[in-house]
Structure 1
């Protein structure tokens, strides 16, 4: 099948091109796109290559304590020390997202647009309450990542994901994930947790256990009330009773993993075990995994 490939060299040109060809599929690293094409799940008639748009491959600070990340920022670039010092949980997620050849070309925008259940950066962005900028000819709009992923406010034809705005909390944040094998592989479950001392709040998002990252809001509010926010002042982490930390893990797991786990259709390494154990046993095992991840993430954030 012949495909039209368009290669704009600027963001304005890309937006204008997409306006005239709204069915064209934007592609940067192409890691998820090519997998879908090779598997026969996607047959795009036209591709909009974004690799020549240098302005989308970097990041910058913005007044008000925000980092503006280009959609073309690679996972490998997010793993560098300067970026890791800025948003450590996102750097940790990028570091575990796959083998070097994937991280070298895979992009933040591609991770969001693909919206795979096991996308490692997605729970971090959800926990940080990041916002994406969507551009189209003559207009832009901003949408919370959570709204975009859940379909509350989806991308519209002719729109291009350009920037990701992440609040800089200057507070502890952690990303942990469990896989079914050693080395880089897809998550069975992942947890992103950030502290927000200024608001005396905890934000948590669980990835890979559902089609989109889940925010256990009741668990967040409950554990925030268990933390002694004044123990070390406004600079950060505080103390908590170990029993409360363990209860938090169970609270998160119960909220995010239903008894009917297995009907969700995930492509997980645990799939074979699910067929043997049945959905109830698989849910218990996954719930235990999520509980451990959440408890450990909270513990590391409070150190």
Structure 2
């Protein structure tokens, strides 16, 4: 079936094309598009290619300590040293997002729009409490990434995801993930953890274990009270008791892999859920330990 393909050269042109063509699907890296089309999950009436819009492929600083990331920013670009120094956890997630051919074309905006449960950047954005800008003819609006992913405030017809705003904490942050095999592959579980010393807070998000990243808010609050935020120098590495770090891992795992998932069931479901809980516990404990080094 023939489909219309539009290639706007500017953000304004893209928004206008989307408004004029109901049912059109914006596409950048297209790493998930053909899979969805071939599987019959997507039958777009038209495609709006965003590859020519250079302004969406970069990033900039904004007053107030925020980085504004273009939705067309590729995983490979986020892995470069200058970006990694700015948002380390997002660079770590981008580095493990897949083989080079995927990282070279896959984009941050595509990861958010696709909202696959195992999307590597999603728990990082949730932990950083990032927001996105949605543009449409006549205006824009800001939406928390977590609201977008959970459907509390989804993308509306005619809207285009253009920017991702990430607070710059200038503090340790970590992304870790577990996979079923060696090398770049889909996560079976992932954990993003960031420290916010100014607020004496810990923010954590767990990915791949549910349809959307999960925030164990009670575990965050509890472990923040266990950290010696005033530790300096050699004492910083022991800013939390090892037993508390281990307990934090268990707390996060229990919150994100609830008891209902570990009930006995056919086909070894009980054992698989227990393994998943153990994996999340280890990832959370290690992420906290690395952040506090």
Residues 1-20 of structure 1, C-alpha deviations (whole Å, 9 max, x = no match): 11111110000010011111
1:289 aligned partner = 279
Number of equivalenced pairs:
290
In the other structure, the counterpart of 2:288 is 298
Unaligned runs of 5+ in 2: none
> Where do 1:9-24 residues align within 5 Å?
9-24=9-24
2:64 maps to 64
CA contact (8 A) 1:257 1:286 kept: yes
In structure 2, distance between residues paired with 1:43 and 1:55: 28
Structure-2 separation of matches of 1:50 and 1:3: 16
Matched, 1:276 2:246: no
Contact 2:171–2:194 under 8 Å retained in 1: yes
* 1:65-84 alignment runs, 5 A limit: 65-84=65-84
Give CA-to-partner distance per residue, 1:258-296, whole Å, 9 cap, x none: 234399xxxxxxxxxx97312x22211100000000000
Cα gap change, 1:300 to 1:241, in 2 (>3 Å): same
Q: Which runs of 4+ in 1 moved over 4 A?
A: none
Q: Distance in 2 between matches of 1:237 and 1:100?
A: 35
Q: Is the Cα–Cα contact under 8 Å of residues 260 and 283 in structure 1 kept in the other structure?
A: no
Query: Is the 8 Å Cα contact of residues 74 and 108 (structure 1) preserved in structure 2?
Result: yes
- Cα distance between partner residues in 2 of 1:262 and 1:49: 44
1:221-255 CA deviation, whole Å, 9 max, x = no partner?
0000000001129xx87700000000000000000
Q: Contact between 2:262 and 2:271, CA under 8 Å: does it hold in 1?
A: no
What is the TM-score when the length of structure 2 is the normalising length?
0.96
CA distance in 2, matches of 1:33, 1:85: 31
Where 2:245 maps in the other structure, the secondary structure is helix
CA contact (8 A) 2:262 2:274 kept: no
Question: How is 1:42-61 mapped onto 2 (pairs within 5 angstroms)?
Answer: 42-61=42-61
The correspondence of residues 1-303 of structure 1 with structure 2, limited to 5 A, is 1-232=1-232, 239-261=239-261, 276-278=267-269, 280-303=270-293
Specify whether residues 275 and 84 from structure 1 end up closer, same or farther in structure 2 by C-alpha distance, changes over 3 A only: farther
C-alpha separation between the residues in 2 aligned to 1:75 and 1:242?
34
Cα distance between partner residues in 1 of 2:60 and 2:9: 20
- Structure 1: how far apart are the matches of 2:286 and 2:280? 10
CA distance in 1, matches of 2:237, 2:116: 32
Length-normalised TM-score, structure 1: 0.93
Segments of structure 1 that go 5 or more residues without pairing to the other structure are 264-273
Give the conservation status (yes or no) of the 8 Å contact 2:69–2:163.
yes
Is contact 1:205-1:213 (8 Å) kept? yes
